[in-house]
Amino acid sequence: MAKQTFLIFLLIATLSACTKAELASVSTEAVLPAATMTAMQEPSVTPTQLPTNTATAINTTPHTTPSSTATQPVAPTATPKQTSLIEPTSVPVPSATAVSLDLPGWITEPSANILLLGNPKIQALSIFNVDTGEQHDIHMSENNLDPNWRWVFKSLDTSGDTLSPDGRYAVHTVSQGEKAGLATITDYETGIETELVNPFLHYQRLNEEFTEWAYASYWSPDGAFVSVLYDKHYYSDNYDRNLIIYTPSGEIFRQYANADTSWTNPWSPVLPYKILYTGNSYVPPCILDVIENKSTCLEVIDEWVKSQKVSPFHYIWSPDGNRISFVYGNSELTGLCYYELTTNTLVCPVSNDDLWLDKQLFARIQFWSPDGKYLVLFFDKLGIMDVVGAQKVAVFNVDSQSFQILEGEYLWPSGDPWRPSIPSVTDK
């Protein structure tokens, strides 16, 4: 039974090299559509202004899932466009592609914190039990070293789409080709596919050529909202990132110009509905209350990075929503910090001394374990982000404040390397 449960969550790069291609398509301008020159024009829908710390509440809707009787949001709405009608299907249920593997029993322990990493030196997918230190290697061909936990849906192919928490809706974003910048939402219960209105499409802030695409989409923890980030990259290497928050029916609830959430899921994992964002600059990070349209900026982080003269990046929520972690660096300094929201305290437990192995290594990206006990940190020795080569990996224990570097070098993660949570028998 445990092994069946595990297979629901474990799909180990089943002979697919698609992730490398996806990474390349995001970071390489050459594969994006040809740039377009247009006259300066205003967005078709006026964007909501990003609120300030002292903003007054302009929407008194309580922190509950929006309903038909809720107070209308201040942000203008746009009627979504129904693009097609497909045959209704039942809500897809996750199931796993069968993979015959001799897996150790500890992989199925619900409480275990387990990492999946690609090990190019021995051509294996390495599975680590961080709690016990045990390791299991699955040898693969070099082309199949895609360290990614995946869901597979037998009833419907949703590859590349973002499913709502209940599996009813899927958002599809287009990053290249003639329809770059387009996003759609499909309701599997009714079979309706709706094109999401992007009021920033073709609008340009600078009078120069640009490319644009729908960058990323994420659902709120209860599926009441979905956020879509639209990216507009100018040839001068300036960019605009515009955030739009939709309801599942495709209506615009909020829209913000120059709100960057490009690092990872911006939604707080716990209610009420809050989004972590920055402006076009890296600091300060701010937390937006989506319902109240109030924003609180984390000035403690802003003051610290200015005093250290470093750049912070890759902000990410802890699973309980009480901490926000980030990595930082400049040409000399690097490390890992997290901000405690409940105490307004900044903790920076990993610094240069911890990331020295014959030469200075530089922190690049980090992920929280599902229980919030650990942070896994990826760092390299090049001083620049290298998504192709191998990285060093370390695990930081938040409870004991201990730091351990794993032996070997591993591939850049194509997604969250932590094994998804497995329900225990008592949870069912």
Question: What is the tens place of the pLDDT at every residue in 387-398?
Answer: 456 789 999 999
pLDDT for the residue 179: 75
pLDDT for the residue 424: 66
Question: Using CB atoms within 10 A of its CB, is residue 422 exposed (0-12), middle (13-18) or buried (19+)?
Answer: buried
pLDDT for the residue 192: 95
**Residue 107 pLDDT greater than 80, yes or no:** yes
**What integer is the mean pLDDT of 160-178?**
85
Where is average pLDDT lowest: 59-68, 95-104, 149-158, 240-249? 59-68
3-state secondary structure string, the chain? CHHHHHHHHCCCCCCCCHHHHHHHHHHCHHHCCCCECCCCCCCCCCCECCCCCCCCCCCCCCCCCCCCCCCCCCCCCCCCEEEEECCCCCCCCCECCCCCCCCCHHHHCCCCCEEEEEECCCCEEEEEECCCCEEEEEECCHHHCCCCCCCECCCCCCCCCEECCCCCEEEEECCCCCCCCCEEEEECCCCEEEECCCCCCCCCCCCCCEEEEEEEEEECCCCCCEEEEEEEEECCCCEEEEEEEECCCCCEEEEECCCECCCCCCECCCCCCEEEEECCCCCCCEEEECCCCEEEECHHHHHHHHHHCCEEEEEEECCCCCEEEEEEECCCCEEEEEEECCCCEEEEEECHHHHEECEECEEEEEEECCCCCEEEEEEECCCCCCCCCEEEEEEEECCCCEEEECCCCEECCCCCCECCCCCCHHHC
**pLDDT confidence bin for 344, thresholds 50/70/90:** very high
pLDDT for the residue 176: 72
What's the whole-model pTM score? 0.75
Where is average pLDDT lowest: 190-199, 204-213, 360-369? 204-213
Q: What are phi and psi of 29, to 5 degrees?
A: -70, -25
Distance CA 103, CA 123 (A): 17
Domains identified in the chain and CATH numbers: 298-413 (2.120.10.30)
**Residue 249 pLDDT greater than 90, yes or no:** yes
Distance CA 86, CA 414 (A): 31
pLDDT for the residue 113: 96
Give 252-261 pLDDT, tens digit per residue: 999 998 899 9
pLDDT for the residue 255: 93
Percent of the chain with pLDDT over 90: 45
**pLDDT confidence bin for 382, thresholds 50/70/90:** low
**pLDDT confidence bin for 54, thresholds 50/70/90:** very low
Strands 374-380 vs 402-405: parallel, antiparallel or unpaired: unpaired
**Residue 92 pLDDT greater than 50, yes or no:** no
pLDDT for the residue 384: 52
pLDDT for the residue 62: 27
Distance CA 42, CA 24 (A): 32
Identify the residue with better confidence: 330 or 426: 330
**Residue 267 pLDDT greater than 90, yes or no:** yes
pLDDT for the residue 299: 94
**Mean pLDDT over each residue of the chain, to the nearest integer:** 75
Edge-to-edge order in the sheet of strand 334-340: 311-317, 323-329, 334-340, 345-350
pLDDT for the residue 282: 67
pLDDT for the residue 310: 93
Q: 123: closest CA among 386, 418, 419, 390?
A: 390
**pLDDT confidence bin for 130, thresholds 50/70/90:** very high
**pLDDT confidence bin for 358, thresholds 50/70/90:** confident
**What integer is the mean pLDDT of 68-87?**
36
